[in-house]
Amino acid sequence: MSAVRIVHVGPLTERFNQRLLQGRDVVQLWQQADALGYLAEHGAQFEVLVTSARFGCSAALLECLPNLRAICSFGVGYDAIAVEVARQRGIAISTTPDVLNDCVADLAMGLVIDTARQLPAADRFVREGRWLAGHYPLTRKVSGKRLGIVGLGRIGKDIARRAEGFAMPVRYHNRRADPSSDYGYEADLLALARWADFLVLACPGGAATHHLIDAAVLEALGPQGILINISRGSVVDQPALVAALLAGTLGGAGLDVFEAEPRVPEALFSLPNVVLLPHVGSGTEETRLQMEELVLANLQAFIDNGELLTPL
Ligand code: NAP
């Protein structure tokens, strides 16, 4: 049994929950009726916290853990982790980068095609017997269209590579140009939105990107433009998005993430040019297993030699 006490914030798969327990001193916080009350009493015992992009680690939680040395998180998003507080206290943080790039990029391209060609709506058309009464309306072509990426990072670059297979010119917007990339950089997000047929969001969530996609960006994308969001719901001004879609001033949207998940604006349910997914970007058996392995590998490396393998 490892001497390091670990607090596990929220459940992942039962397979992971059980593997984490093997040979380790782990407290499953969600089993405590009053989690913060429990930590107020016992928090000083814990040196490592295991969490996920979904459950995160708030500043209030950190306050109850005065001896915490590391946070090992499942997922690559860290917007639910009080990163600045952790940094100030010298608490190391690991996420699970790269192992999920393929699946999230696959899903982004899936949304590009599904939204432009209205595949879910066309599928509903067949299932509801409406094909017997007439043909499905024409939709929009994907190949060769212009793809703008907001956040050309690990996932963004994999989306760009896939888009090349569809002969799509790619440009991107980051806070600064990436010298390792040959894609055209656009410092002005509005200009990228005006240029793009598809604007794909692959930047982090959090305060710095909150409502980066506002009514002006949606207007610039325009009635033929399609917004794809696989980043975080907070990046988009959701009421402005719903208004633009209902008014027809935006051509369509493919969304894997929402501002108040799992709540999704019902006004979008009937729109054929909108595809709604329940935050499943990395959600395949293969990738989730790799993410679990990477959390455990980070944890073990920290216990063995005080170093995380994939620090933030
Ligand atoms: P990454 O490698 O860190 O890339 C993030 C990119 O966003 C960087 O190119 C960064 O460039 C850019 N960026 C950061 N802040 C920005 C800002 N304020 N304005 C414009 N661009 C900004 O991260 P990743 O591994 O590709 O993951 C990206 C995000 O995808 C995650 O943070 C997560 O929220 C989301 N995600 C979603 C799912 C899902 O299931 N839907 C799964 C995994 C990840 P600069 O630093 O130069 O600005």
DSSP for 133-195 reads: G-PPPP----TT--EEEE--SHHHHHHHHHHHTTT--EEEE-SS--TT--SEE-S-HHHHHHH
Give yes or no: 307 in active site. Answer: no
Any domain includes 117: yes
Picking from 22, 43, 41, 23, the residue whose alpha carbon sits closest to that of residue 9 is 43
Any domain includes 311: no
Asked if residue 217 has its Cβ within 6 Å of ligand 1, the reply is no
Task: Spell out a b/e string for 158-178, using b for 16 or more CB atoms within 10 Å of the CB, else e.
Answer: bbbebbeeeebbbbbbbeeee
Q: Do residues 128 and 200 both lie within one domain? A: yes
Any domain includes 263: yes
Q: Do residues 160 and 62 both lie within one domain? A: no
Any domain includes 34: yes
Q: Do residues 113 and 225 both lie within one domain? A: yes
Q: Tell me how far CA of residue 222 lies from CA of 49, 197, 217, 272, 298, in angstroms.
A: 45, 9, 9, 17, 44
Number of domains in the chain: 2
Query: HSE (CB half, 13 Å, CA atoms) of 270?
Result: 2
Please identify which of the residues 41, 261, 286, 307 carries the catalytic annotation: 261
Picking from 52, 26, 34, 11, the residue whose alpha carbon sits closest to that of residue 291 is 52
Strand partners for 252: 226
Q: What's residue 138's pLDDT? A: 98
Q: Do residues 110 and 258 both lie within one domain? A: yes
Distance, CA 16 to ligand 1 centroid (Å)?
26
Any domain includes 310: no
Question: Mean pLDDT for each consecutive 10-residue tract of the chain (312 residues)?
Answer: 89 97 96 94 97 97 97 97 98 98 98 98 98 98 98 98 98 98 98 99 97 98 98 98 98 98 97 98 98 98 97 97
Any domain includes 230: yes
Q: Do residues 68 and 138 both lie within one domain? A: no
Please identify which of the residues 186, 232, 288, 292 carries the catalytic annotation: 232
Q: What's residue 229's pLDDT? A: 99
**Residue 192 domain boundaries:** 101-276
Rounded Cα gap, residues 91 and 69, in angstroms: 5
Give yes or no: 211 in active site. Answer: no
Q: Do residues 138 and 88 both lie within one domain? A: no
Using one digit for the tens of pLDDT, what is the confidence trace for 67-103? 999 999 999 999 999 999 999 999 999 999 999 999 9
57 DSSP assignment: B
Q: What's residue 3's pLDDT? A: 86
Residue 162 near residue 106, CB atoms below 8 Å: yes
Q: Do residues 267 and 298 both lie within one domain? A: no
Q: Do residues 266 and 300 both lie within one domain? A: no
Q: Do residues 159 and 237 both lie within one domain? A: yes
Any domain includes 281: no
Q: What's residue 1's pLDDT? A: 62
Q: Do residues 204 and 109 both lie within one domain? A: yes
Any domain includes 17: yes
- How many other C-beta atoms can be found within 10 angstroms of the C-beta atom of residue 1? 7
Give yes or no: 279 in active site. Answer: yes
The CATH code of the domain that includes 65 is 3.40.50.720
Q: Tell the residue nearest (CA) to atom 11 of ligand 1.
A: 174
Q: Do residues 25 and 109 both lie within one domain? A: no
Residue 55 near residue 182, CB atoms below 8 Å: no
